[in-house]
A and B are shown apart, each in its own frame.
Chain A
Amino acid sequence: MIRARQLLRLAALPPPRARSYADAAAGPAAMAFTFASPTQVFYNGTTVKQVDVPTLTGSFGILASHVPTLQVLKPGVVTVYAEDGTATKYFVSSGSVTVNADSTVQVLAEEAVTMDMLDLATAKSNLEKAVSEMAAASDEAARAEAQIKVEANEALVKALE
């Protein structure tokens, strides 16, 4: 008697749900990458493997099918990993990053240069000048500007070392 009731109860239970991994991310597999400054275009819709960007909320790497996001760049190094694995570095001053749902990525930098255009000694001396400017700054606006200079030069020196 009891066994029949137990059997009935078992039959009434819903079938156990199969557990599996989440679905693969939607969107095209390749990332169309556009990287430009107002005066120069570095990449225009080219397919690359990965891009590392320095943003105000931290550095992160973007691969194909990355979740859509909008970010603002801070002074630092953008590294582009091409399809064949070669990495190219650029120093950017500021700008914006857009990752769209269709895997297109736009990195627009206000100023961007390849690393060979930069000189470590000049960067260090600029940093010292900027630090002394910040110490001497009188009002809020001047101090904020000097702070920006200090941050940019610090990033430059760190990138070159």
Chain B
Amino acid sequence: MFARGSAVVLYQPQWGQVRNMATLKDITRRLKSIKNIQKITKSMKMVSAAKYARAERELKPARVYGTGALALYEKAEIKAPEDKKKHLLIGVSSDRGLCGAIHTSIAKTLKNEITNLSNAGKEVMVVGVGDKIRGLLQRTHGNYFLMTFKEVGRRPPSFGDASVIASELLNSGYEFDEGSVIYNRFRSVISYKTDEKPIYSFETVAGSESLSIYDDIDADVLRNYQEFTLANILYYSLKESTTSEQSARMTAMDNASKNASEMIDKLTLTFNRTRQAVITKELIEIISGAAAL
């Protein structure tokens, strides 16, 4: 009668934070998975280190080449006239992630530039070198995109890649007056900085007054020169960008491996404690069972 009366079942709400004591099996599973992840991040770090060494070696001549190409713009102090409307932004990054803040810093700079230029009344188009740029900006600034270049980052960039990009830009039909290339400049193994280099169209350079000190230039020669310089600047930014990316990936994977080993240490301690607790509990059960007899 009593038993029938108490038909109330203890109702344990299922949506609360119910944390049971982790069983040995749970901890073992977690430990195994984190150890696997640590192996992966360690090997990714090794691969990045090798790629970084090569990229840094190839960056040295590329830097001389790039500064040589930009020397004209600096020495002649070419500036686009203020009333020119069409602007082009080229964001140089890559397809692959797990490299820290490489892609987000380019995207952030691009977003700021788009806002500034649009507020100043200029028409802006964006070119993304690398799929990540498209991914980051597509939702909010999708209508500014002129074109995107994929398969960047898999192999080290060559001058051929830069000339492909340059010829696509020139054949795109978008007659920009001036523009900038936004890339990550490599400073050291642990640091890089997002930098911007200017590019000018053929008309802007031809119309610039400081160009008159340069002797004996006809339109054909200047056009060839401009196209070549565009390819040079793109090549330089690609080289700097890959070096920064590989060094950032090396650092990121190194941090990940370190975090993973910290977690492994903590979990191993918890595992041992739990194992001892289980053994103690079993012993107590046996002893109390024996004592009850």
In the complex, what residues of B have CB within 8 A of residue A102's CB? 75
In the complex, what residues of B have CB within 8 A of residue A68's CB? 213-215
- The number of chain B residues with a CB under 8 A from chain A is 29
In the complex, what residues of A have CB within 8 A of residue B50's CB? none
Q: Is the CB of B68 within 8 A of A70?
A: no
Q: How large is the interface on A (under 10, 10 to 19, 20 to 34, 35 or more residues)?
A: 20 to 34
In the complex, what residues of A have CB within 8 A of residue B237's CB? none
A70 in complex: contacting residue of B64, B72, B232, B235, CB < 8 Å? B72
Q: Is the CB of B221 within 8 A of A108?
A: no
In the complex, what residues of A have CB within 8 A of residue B216's CB? 57, 69
Interface assignment of B149: CB less than 8 Å from any CB of chain A? no
In the bound complex, CA of A37 to CA of B228 (Å): 12
Residues of A within 8 A of B (CB): 34, 36-41, 44, 56-57, 67-72, 94-96, 98-102, 104, 106, 108, 110
Q: Is the CB of B217 within 8 A of A69?
A: yes
Name the distance in Å between A41's Cβ and chain B's nearest Cβ.
4
In the bound complex, CA of A69 to CA of B61 (Å): 24
Q: A56-B224, A70-B225, A96-B229 are in contact. Are A106 and B214 (CB under 8 A)?
A: no
Q: Is the CB of B64 within 8 A of A41?
A: yes
Interface assignment of B58: CB less than 8 Å from any CB of chain A? yes
Q: Is the CB of A70 within 8 A of B71?
A: no
Q: Is the CB of A72 within 8 A of B221?
A: yes
Q: Is the CB of B221 within 8 A of A70?
A: yes
In the complex, what residues of A have CB within 8 A of residue B69's CB? 96, 106, 108
A71 in complex: contacting residue of B221, B229, B235, CB < 8 Å? B221
